[in-house]
Amino acid sequence: EPEVTQTPSHQVTQMGQEVILRCVPISNHLYFYWYRQILGQKVEFLVSFYNNEISEKSEIFDDQFSVERPDGSNFTLKIRSTKLEDSAMYFCASRGTGATEAFFGQGTRLTVV
């Protein structure tokens, strides 16, 4: 069964460092998303991406964040200068054209120390 894969599963980084979270969406999907979930809190939308550009972003997705689809398979989230409050589980999701259901990856747990 096709699935969204994310790497790494857990990343520890020092405050102020840059991190790149990687995602491989399901191969024929065209809509990609990043969500985050701070421990014990709600899932929060960060950004959606379609046709090689951001289609929507939330207030959380400030200038410290960027997304990229560097090739035909990967979809990355970069946090330029991490803060302690960026510690969270980051989920990538993808959706096929005409579908309502998005498939989530297993997440990357980011810990900023």
Partner 1 sequence: GQNIDQPTEMTATEGAIVQINCTYQTSGFNGLFWYQQHAGEAPTFLSYNVLDGLEEKGRFSSFLSRSKGYSYLLLKELQMKDSASYLCAVRSPDSNYQLIWGAGTKLIIKP
Using CB under 8 A, list all residues that contact partner 1. 31, 33, 41-45, 48, 50, 55-56, 58, 89, 91, 95, 100-107
What ranges in the chain are assigned the alpha helix state H? Answer: none
What's the DSSP call for residue 101? P
- Hey, is 96 helix, strand or coil? coil
**Closer by beta carbon to partner 1, 15 or else 43:** 43
Residue for token digits 């999907």?
29
One-character DSSP codes across 1-30: ----EEE-SEEEE-TT--EEEEEE--TT--
CB of 87 to partner 1, least distance (A): 15
CB of 22 to partner 1, least distance (A): 15
CB of 81 to partner 1, least distance (A): 25
**Closer by beta carbon to partner 1, 13 or else 104:** 104
The whole-angstrom separation of Cα 80 and Cα 13 is: 12
**Closer by beta carbon to partner 1, 25 or else 105:** 105
CB of 33 to partner 1, least distance (A): 6
